[in-house]
Amino acid sequence: MQELTTTRHNDLVDPVLHIWGWEIPVYLFIGGLVAGIMIISGYFALKGQYKKNVFSSFYLPHISLILLSLGMFSLFLDLEHKLYVWRLYTTFKIASPMSWGAWILILVYPALWLNTLIRIPDRFKDVIPIFDRLSNRINQHPFLIKSIGTLNMLLGTLLGMYTGVLLSSIGARPLWNSAMLWMLFLVSGLSSAAAFVHLITSDRYERQLLAKADNAFLTLELFVIGGFISGLLTSTAVHIEAAHLILTGPFAASFWVFVITAGIIIPLVIQLLAVNNKVKHTPVAPIMVISGGLILRFVIVYAGQFSHYAHQALSK
């Protein structure tokens, strides 16, 4: 038996850490979604799909710019010392994933902007002449388009990885302290992005392609979640306890019902039927995938704050 009584009652810390509310899960979700969109639109740029008239790669980079700004705003809302946010860009701390993320985001914006110039949508043509001139220049040199596509895929991968590394580098929270977390968030981001393109596109080929890709991402995500959980269950006592928070503990219902069943398995079954022409493509499956991706971030961020080292005294 161990009974601890403490006089400490610090706000946001006691009785359990609850420093991060909705802002951080939303930021991590949007970061992963944008990362996935960058990888997909970069791939489309490499494959020359931008030449088609109805292809979503016209407007994916534009949507990404808006989404990323929303995500950054969400992160900004979480800061307690908001007027000092510029301090992030007065230094680079190599050991701090958050510092890496701040600088990666600075690189992501110009990469997305360059991506928008590959094909300016008709309704935006002749609005800003310099953009049209730059777009014409880029289109005269196919290697520039391939370079922009590659750059977007590379930075998208870094961004998606960063959203997981941000949490996994925090050793004090056993649930987050897993080398699988960056992979989970990257695959989940890719899956949400594929579902997002599937949802908004009007091109039949693209819808079919993204549904197939999403099926692969969802299957991979199941394996990564399996690896994430088995890694925790075969680790130390505090990691096993952390795994049980989502397997059987207070976050189990959200995890099993909304993340695994409604967010992965059901949409995977629907999309497998759809790509085999057994049922029609509908918005149901992609909406479930996107919702599952968002809830996954909430579950991991909240349960992670709940997990902690046992406050034990060991005599030497």
Q: What are the Cα distances from residue 214, in Å, to 130, 269, 279?
A: 37, 11, 16
φ/ψ region of 5 (left if φ > 0, alpha if ψ in -120 to 50, else beta) reads beta
The answer to the question of residue 90 lying near another protein (CB under 8 A) is: yes
CB of 240 to another protein, least distance (A): 14
Mark residues 158-187: x for contact with another protein by CB under 8 A, - for none: -----------xxxxx--------------
The answer to the question of residue 54 lying near another protein (CB under 8 A) is: no
138 is written with which tokens?
């880029």
Length of the chain: 316
Give yes or no for a contact between 94 and 88, defined as CB atoms under 8 angstroms apart. Answer: no
Element (H, E) at 296: helix 284-306
244 to 303, contacts with another protein by CB under 8 A?
none
**Which of 82, 123, 278, 280 contacts another protein by CB under 8 A?**
82
**Which of 80, 140, 143, 278 contacts another protein by CB under 8 A?**
80
Taking the C-alpha atoms of residue 142 and residue 134, their distance in angstroms, rounded to an integer, is: 13
CB of 165 to another protein, least distance (A): 11
The answer to the question of residue 12 lying near another protein (CB under 8 A) is: yes
**Which of 73, 205, 223, 309 contacts another protein by CB under 8 A?**
309
The answer to the question of residue 106 lying near another protein (CB under 8 A) is: no
Beta carbons within 8 Å of 78's beta carbon, 6+ residues apart? 20, 21, 23, 24, 27
In the bound state with another protein, the residue whose beta carbon lies nearer, of 30 and 211, is 30
19 to 38, contacts with another protein by CB under 8 A?
19-20
Taking the C-alpha atoms of residue 32 and residue 48, their distance in angstroms, rounded to an integer, is: 24
In the bound state with another protein, the residue whose beta carbon lies nearer, of 58 and 185, is 185
Interface with another protein: number of residues (CB under 8 A): 52
Element (H, E) at 60: helix 60-78
In the bound state with another protein, the residue whose beta carbon lies nearer, of 82 and 123, is 82
Whether the link from the prior residue into 97 is cis, omega within 30° of 0, is no
The answer to the question of residue 13 lying near another protein (CB under 8 A) is: yes
Give yes or no for a contact between 217 and 183, defined as CB atoms under 8 angstroms apart. Answer: no
In the bound state with another protein, the residue whose beta carbon lies nearer, of 90 and 140, is 90
Taking the C-alpha atoms of residue 90 and residue 102, their distance in angstroms, rounded to an integer, is: 11
**Which of 84, 230, 234, 282 contacts another protein by CB under 8 A?**
84
The answer to the question of residue 4 lying near another protein (CB under 8 A) is: yes
The answer to the question of residue 233 lying near another protein (CB under 8 A) is: no
Give yes or no for a contact between 71 and 27, defined as CB atoms under 8 angstroms apart. Answer: yes
The answer to the question of residue 240 lying near another protein (CB under 8 A) is: no
Give yes or no for a contact between 301 and 294, defined as CB atoms under 8 angstroms apart. Answer: no
> What residues line the site for another protein (CB under 8 A)?
1-14, 17, 19-20, 78-82, 84-85, 87-88, 90-91, 93, 95-99, 101-102, 169-173, 236, 305, 308-316
